[in-house]
Structure 1
Amino acid sequence: MGDRYPLPVFLDATVVSNFASTDAIGFLVAVLGSPLVVPAVREEIERGQNLGHEYLASAVEAFDDEGIGVADPPDGSVERGLRNRLDAGEAETLRAAAERGGTIATDDLAARRLAGELSIPVVGSIGLLVVGVERGEITRETADAWLETWREERGYYAPVERIGDVLDGDG
Structure 2
Amino acid sequence: MRWIVLAVLAAVVAACGAKGWADGRPLPEWREKGIRYWAESLLVPGESLEIRTVVGARNESTEPVEVVSVACEVYVRLHLNPDREGLPVWDQRASYAAYTRRAVEDGECEMVARRIVVEPGESVWLTVAGVWPERMGTKLGAGRYYVTAYVPFVGRTVALVAGEIEVPVAEAAERGS
Using the size of structure 1 for normalisation, the TM-score is 0.30
Higher helix share: 1
Using the size of structure 2 for normalisation, the TM-score is 0.29
Structure index of larger Rg: 2
